[in-house]
Structure 1
Amino acid sequence: MKKIIASLLFAVAANSAVADPIADAVAHPDRPLEQRMRDEYRHPQQTLRFFDIQPDMAVVEIWPGGGWYANILAPLLQEKGKYYAAHFYIDEETKDYYRKAREKFAEKVKNHPPYKNVELTSFHPLKNDQKIAPDNSVDRILTFRNVHNWYMYNNEEGLNGAFKQFFAALKSGGQLGIVEHRLPENANDADQQRSGYMKQSYIIQLAEKAGFKLVASSEINANLKDTAQHPKGVWTLPPRLALGEEKEAEYLAIGESDRMTLKFIKP
């Protein structure tokens, strides 16, 4: 009996010691507290598991912005994988906001130890003279809450251009993961142009037009409290709170937006 109990205790201890690279990356000590506070809305562990991200993969993140997911993906992929940060495309027409955001991110790539193996590339939905990654080379492409930007600035042409570039960079069998603010299907299509929300059916339609196949969708990042009908669109909600203190408690109670989470494959 003692031997059986000892064996069971050893098995439990061994199981508890199994490496969990995603959990470790989410809990990385260099990850800022203010970003960790968003985990309850953005569910990074569940989301990256849904996208089946492994530490030995080549992964592109499109428009990492200030680095919310980069602070997880960079250490996760640092040793065995490859992380491409496809940041804002810079030319003479680029607005100062985008230029400064990229410069700040580039500084982190240069000086922040968890970013030491990050490769900084560029993405613009209508310009492909700078590759997000070599063609047919990556296992995953991820983008978080960005699709509406390409539509608001470049309409359907922007989405078609984006999906074409994603398709080119992925290996056969590689996957595209999208998290985006979700507009109800019965809403006016015109709301997509100004609200920051997109219809799930529309994104699926254009991704499939580019050659992708939908593998699965998830409600990991759903929020039933969000109606997607707000005075200043999605930016009314946290973390932006575009109305300031006006109805702040109400919007904080709603939380961050209702979001679709979609997984596509390149056949």
Structure 2
Amino acid sequence: MRYLLASTMLALAVPAAADHHELPDQAEFAATHAEALSGAINHPSRAEDRARDEFRNPAETLALFRVEPDMKVGEYAPGGGWYTRVLGHYLGGEGQLVGLYFDPTSGPFNAESQQGIRAGAAGFPAEAAEFTGLPAENFSAMTLDAIPEGEAGTLDRVLVIRMMHNMMRWNNADSELKKMRELLKPGGMLGIVQHRAPDDAAADYANGSKGYLRQDDVVGYVEALGFELVGSSEVNANPNDPANWEGGVWAMPPSLGGDDEMDARTRDLGESDRMTLLFRKRP
């Protein structure tokens, strides 16, 4: 099984064979960019976000993904601003953050939802500027059905944070990942953090509808779309999460979507068990 890589919590990254390409050593990478990562993570705009850092590990995650401060990075489905604030400040000097929004014509989106997705993309630079206190010119956005001319092949990284399950349950993962691949430079990389189901979880539980996916399924699916797995980490793992909640991942913090009895059981468990995977775009 692929994620026997989980055998040690101390192994933050496990590179896989990847043609003739070599990833920079993660520890050296983290040390090189420690000041920039620390500055972004400890920025005052993140004061309310820091309570989640112990579960989401942004410094270690971005180091695994080898995100450099001068890169052009796509954040898929930016939401409430948690990762936008980290990335905005980390890339705020020489780099650029691009919000990547769903293709409104894919998935179960009615006309009103489609309009909302397009409005979200149009408003992302101003919203990100409000989130971060940085100039709106530092940010751009697009919906994946309308990639602007000249943008294909320009992104160094695309990050998909806790969103694979939605693509799977909406049946648009194939088209969305193909568009992300189109946006990446040759050799560009895709970083995925995703709620993880147990190996033996039933298919109808681990199909995205409960928020959890099996790691082998994710790896096989992404690789079939023109990527190769080049790194894996247990930094966002949580052995306290059995990942078998009847109501799905939303029983876990921070959602706490159960009744009072369920919330009492899950409140102190931390966030969900998560896989953290790095893929490179194949030629």
State the TM bucket, normalised to the shorter chain: 0.7 to 0.9
Q: 1:20 to 1:243 in 2, by over 3 A?
A: same
Call closer, same or farther: CA 1:19–1:239 in 2, change over 3 Å: closer
Question: Does residue 80 of structure 2 align to residue 59 of structure 1?
Answer: no
Q: 3-state SS of the aligned residue for 1:108?
A: helix
Q: 1:181 to 1:231 in 2, by over 3 A?
A: same
CA distance in 2, matches of 1:167, 1:39: 29
For the pair 1:151 / 2:168, whether they are aligned, the reply is yes
- Number of the residue aligned with 2:249: 234
Maintained 8 Å contact 1:65/1:87: no
Q: Residue deviations 1:120-160, cap 9 Å, x none? A: 2224xxxx334598111111110100000011112xxx221
For the residues of structure 2 that align with 1:193 and 1:98, how far apart are their CA atoms? Answer: 23
**CA root-mean-square deviation:** 2.6
TM-score by length of 1: 0.83
In the alignment, is the contact (CA less than 8 A) between 1:132 and 1:169 conserved in 2?
no
Query: In the alignment, which residue of structure 1 is the partner of 2:268?
Result: 253
Superposed CA deviations along residues 175-209 of structure 1, whole A, max 9, x for unmatched, are 10000000111111111242110111111111111
Cα distance in 2 for residues equivalent to 1:244 and 1:100: 35
Counterpart CA distance in 2 for 1:99 and 1:132 is 20
- Please list every run of 5 or more consecutive structure 2 residues that lacks an aligned counterpart in the other structure: 1-30
Letter of the 2:88 partner, please give it: A
Q: Is the 8 A contact 1:145 1:180 kept in 2?
A: yes
Asked if the contact 1:141–1:170 (Cα under 8 Å) also holds between the matched residues in 2, the reply is: yes
CA shift in 2, pair 1:140/1:182, >3 Å = same
Q: Distance in 2 between matches of 1:194 and 1:167?
A: 25
Could you list the runs of 5+ residues in structure 1 that have no partner in the other structure?
Answer: 1-15
Structure 2 residue 127 is the aligned partner of structure 1 residue 108: yes
Distance 1:240 1:31 in 2: 19
Match of 1:120 in 2: 141
Cross-structure match for 2:46: 31
SS in 2 for 1:254: coil
User: How far off its partner does 1:67 sit?
Assistant: 1.1
Counterpart CA distance in 2 for 1:132 and 1:48 is: 28
**Aligned amino acid, residue 189 of structure 1:** A
Counterpart selection for 1:137 from 154, 172, 177 = 154
Alignment coverage as a number of residue pairs: 243
202 and 229 in structure 1: CA distance in 2 versus 1, 3 angstrom threshold: same
Within 5 Å, which residues of 2 pair with 1:199-218?
A: 199-218=214-233
Partner deviation per Cα, 1:29-65 (whole Å, 9 max, x = no partner) = 11241x2111111011110111111110111010011
Cα distance in 1 for partners of 2:57, 2:130 equals 28
Aligned CA distance change for structure 1 residues 131 and 186 (closer, same or farther; 3 Å) = farther
Partners of 1:134 and 1:51 lie apart in 2 by 21
Alignment match, 1:13: none
Contact 1:74 1:83 in 2 (8 A): yes
Report the residue type matching 1:143 in the other structure: V
Question: What SS does the corresponding residue of 2:243 show, helix, strand or coil?
Answer: coil
Cα distance between partner residues in 2 of 1:105 and 1:26: 21
Which protein shows a greater Rg? 1
SS at match of 2:170: helix
Work out the CA distance in 1 between the residues paired with 2:148 and 2:237: 32
Structure scoring higher RCO (CA < 8 A, sep ≥ 6) equals 2
Q: Is 2:113 aligned against 1:95?
A: yes
Deviation at residue 100 of structure 1 after TM alignment: 10
Deviation at 1:161, TM superposition (A): 1.1
